[in-house]
Structure 1
Amino acid sequence: MQVFVGTCGFPKARRVIFNTLDAAELQETFYNLPDPERMSALRREAPDFHFTAKVFQGITHPPGSPTFKRTRGFRPTERHGLLKPTRENMELWEQFTAAVAPLRPEVLVIQTPPSLKPEPYIYDFFTAVAGKWKLAWEPRGETYNDPKLIGKVAELGVIIAVDPLRKDPPPGEIYYFRLHGLGRGEVNYRYKYTASDLARLASLVRGLEGEFAYVMFNNVYMYQDAAEFKTLLSQLAPLSHDVDG
């Protein structure tokens, strides 16, 4: 099992992230459609780095989401967002994936808002887009509490992204973890992970069977927590299934 430790965004200068961590999940691709030239430049800047990218909110979020205040050059309609398998969303998906392709992201992260209900059409959306890209879906709120829908989407090869300190990850060959802090609610961005938290996380990750695990911190202290967690992993003796033979 290879473990890639990183952050959601760049809380430090890019060169610091590239030199000290394994991975970064681009957040700018959520707020605005990617600029292909910038995506290509980032890949040239870090040719061997593990990039992932968060899918544009025009596909995932409702038109009234306050996050659109940061969006330039795109005005959502009622036929956009919330993973609706509409022509408008499908065209936007093609536009997004073509624009982000020069980055060669290893995973496209689809984060849906708590307002999304577990509608049957969500499965139709994933059926339409699964296959070409490795996808990780982080459902929130009521949607996550529909195990039948989650299971059907996972059967398409979509990774179900969770915080393993809050929810048990579905088994698979690839895991994608997004850590938003502990405490009340689904997110607590101001939370600082303790040594005990990181030790528990290491135990959980090392107990997985699979090929890869992305451990992505997404809190105020994300860089410090990621760096400490990576150091902790490096200090632990390898498990028997980590070694060939």
Structure 2
Amino acid sequence: MEVVVGTCGFSGKGGRRNYYNSFRGVEVQETFYRPVPLETLRRWRSEAPEGFEFTLKAFQGITHPASSPTWRRAKGIKPTENHGFFRPTREVFEGWEYTRSAAQALDASVVVFQTPPSFGPTEENVSNVDTFFSKIDRGSLTLGWEPRGEWLNRPELLEGIFKKHHLIHVVDPFRRMPLVESKVQYFRLHGIGRGEVNYSYKYTEEDLLRLLSIIESLSASKVYVFFNNIQMFQDALRFKELLERR
């Protein structure tokens, strides 16, 4: 089994160069908040060492409505009622075309969609998800979805969607396990305790050993493990070192 460890976004002191020297994978966050110029993404790809892996978070125009506070970081982009919730609109599909181009610029193989808790399993939203993933051209990309909110109380519905559209169930393994088996699994770690996220949490040695045990129990051939807490650089580095000692 191959395990790729890193963080959600470039983290730590010393910028990208230090990050490249510390890890062999990163989940790019900038593409979620705004369309980063493809020239910039190609530069990141060219400066990264051979074998380094990029994954990326899909542009929020696909998943997050205009009311989402995440748009405050969009730097001049004004969302409309046609954005978000996988709506079958020109704006949403344009968001996908940018995301796919960004993945190509980074030579990324995995794209992650994260939906806000306000995106619930209504009949309309289920239809939107089905239409979106049926219509887009994903090429050779592996797509993952991290649902939140009321979706988590509808495991049978979610499992059906994941299987129908060949999606990875992106999860925090300290809170739940993927509903579907896959050759590739994708973990995003948001801290333990206090609801769905606890960014201030620092993982203990016991936590990291438990994470290792969870990964070793999987039948996947590849697992991405990206930390997403305040101490993410240090915690990811500790887990990487633990893996290397096994």
What is the RMSD computed on CA atoms of the aligned residues?
1.4
Give the corresponding residue for 1:137. 145
Shift of 1:100: 4.1
Q: Which residue does 1:165 correspond to in 2? A: 174
Q: Is 1:174–1:211's contact at 8 Å kept on the other side of the alignment?
A: yes
* Residues 108, 134 of structure 1: 8 Å contact kept: yes
Q: Give the structure 1 partner of residue 126 of structure 2.
A: 120
Does the 8 Å contact 1:34/1:100 carry over to 2?
A: no
1:152 Cα deviation after fit = 2.4
| Preserved CA contact (<8 Å) 1:36 1:101 | no
1:228 aligns with 2:228: no
| TM-score using structure 1 length | 0.92
Does structure 2 retain, via aligned residues, the 8 Å contact 1:130–1:158?
no
CA contact (8 A) 2:61 2:91 kept: no
2:211 equivalent among 187, 196, 201: 201
* Cα shift at 1:182: 0.3
Distance 1:22 1:214 in 2: 11
Distance 1:125 1:56 in 2: 14
Q: Is the CA contact 1:130–1:157 (under 8 Å) kept in the aligned structure 2?
A: no
Distance change (3 Å), C-alpha of 1:75 and 1:184:
same
The residue correspondences of 1:8-157 to structure 2 (distance < 5 A) are 8-12=8-12, 13-46=15-48, 47-118=50-121, 119-121=125-127, 122-129=129-136, 131-132=138-139, 133-155=141-163, 156-157=165-166
Q: CA shift at 1:49, angstroms?
A: 0.8
Which shifted more, 58-67 or 140-149? 140-149
Q: How many residues align?
A: 236
Cα 1:232–1:143 shift into 2, 3 Å: same
| SS across alignment from 2:70 | helix
Letter in 1 for 2:172: D
Structure 2 length as normaliser, TM-score?
0.91
Question: How far did residue 28 of structure 1 move?
Answer: 0.7
Where 1:142 maps in the other structure, the secondary structure is helix
1:224 deviates by 0.6
Alpha-carbon distance, 1:10 to partner? 1.2
Q: Which amino acid aligns with 2:175?
A: R
Match of 2:220 in 1: 210
User: Could you tell me which amino acid in structure 2 is paired with residue 104 of structure 1?
Assistant: D
SS of corresponding position for 1:120: helix
8 A contact 1:161–1:176 mirrored in 2: yes
